[in-house]
Amino acid sequence: MLVSFAEEKTGECVVCCHRCGAFLMESASTTSYMVCPECGARLVVCVKKGKVSVFDDTRSEEELAKKRHARLTRYAAKINEIVK
């Protein structure tokens, strides 16, 4: 796990992959799941109160598929409400 402190000037943190060092994002506060564009590692990024944590996403493919399905189902339901 990589932990670093943000520069207080901008209020945003620069987040890099802890495996290959590739740039991932700049953020003041977030919790994100992402894939590194360079090495393809599945990562979890947490930025809170000027601290950055980057670690491997250990969720199974089955769990990811279930969450994706639930999210897409909610999106579809909201779109159907808007269209009606």
Q: What is the pLDDT of residues 33-46, one digit of tens each?
A: 999 999 999 999 99
Instruction: Say whether pLDDT at 48 is over 60.
Output: yes
pTM above 0.85, yes or no: no
Q: How confident is residue 50, by pLDDT bands cut at 50, 70 and 90?
A: confident
Average pLDDT, the chain: 86
Q: What pLDDT shows up at residue 30?
A: 86
Choose among 51, 74, 44, 56: nearest CA to 19. Answer: 56
Amino acid at 20: C
How is the chain split into domains, by residue range? 2-83
Separation of alpha carbons 73 and 77, rounded Å: 6
Residue 4 pLDDT exceeds 80: no
